[in-house]
Amino acid sequence: MTLTREDLAGLVDGLAGLPYGGEPVDQRSHALQAGWFAARHGADDELLLAAVLHDIGRARAVQAEWPELPHELSGAEFARRHLGERAAWIIAQHVPAKRYLVATDTEYHDHLSPASVASLIVQGGPMTAEEVAEFAAHPNADEAVLVRRWDDDAKDPDGPVLETADVLAAYDRFLAAR
């Protein structure tokens, strides 16, 4: 079943007011800020949609469909169904990308919010050398790292956001190009 524009808008708008693990923004602002960073970076439509939807696994409807999965994996299942494998992998890997960055970028840890530092411990801490090599070998690893960095930056209650209309326009272009 194809995700309609209305369904997509409803999912994004449904994130409004949902807390974001101790961060000063709600899930909707966080998603649209990540999308703003993606657009500013010149991301293609699929990468922009992956940025906006990287935490869609926290949406009530998506959680209800895959209740046993952590948010990054339920979000990946959602993306696999409605966008494709590239977006699904990027969304699934936005949490491991944090572990990768902590292991490979000496300054990255200092950029994390207190809530993100706390979740890093639960997520397994820095990757091992073997995990780093496996992650880095994937053709979309750099894009997962970009989404992770946008995720980290998208926590400003006064920060810029991508308009929902821009998300829908990217989705229209993505569908037309399939």
Give per-residue pLDDT as tens, 33-76: 999 999 999 999 999 999 999 999 999 999 999 999 999 999 99
What's the pLDDT score for residue 22? 83
Range of the domain at 160: 5-177
Q: What is the pLDDT of residue 2?
A: 84
**Angle in degrees, CA 127, 133, 138, rounded to 5:** 110
User: What is the distance, to the nearest Å, from the Cα of residue 72 to the centroid of all Cα atoms in its chain?
Assistant: 8
pTM of the predicted protein model: 0.96
Residue 21 confidence (pLDDT): 84
DSSP for 129-173, written as a single string: HHHHHHHHHSTTHHHHHHHHHHHHH---TTS----HHHHHHHHHH
Q: Is the CB of residue 96 less than 8 Å from the CB of residue 127?
A: yes
Residue 20 scores a pLDDT above 90: no
Residue 36's CATH number:
1.10.3210.10
Residue 1 has pLDDT above 80, yes or no: no
Task: Give how many domains the chain has, as a whole number.
Answer: 1
**What is d(CA 25, CA 17) in angstroms, rounded to the nearest whole number?**
9
Residues 119-144 have a mean pLDDT of 97
First to last CA, the chain: 15
Return the ∠ at Cα 37 (arms to 79 and 102), rounded to 5°: 80
Q: 128 — phi, psi (to 5°)?
A: -75, 170
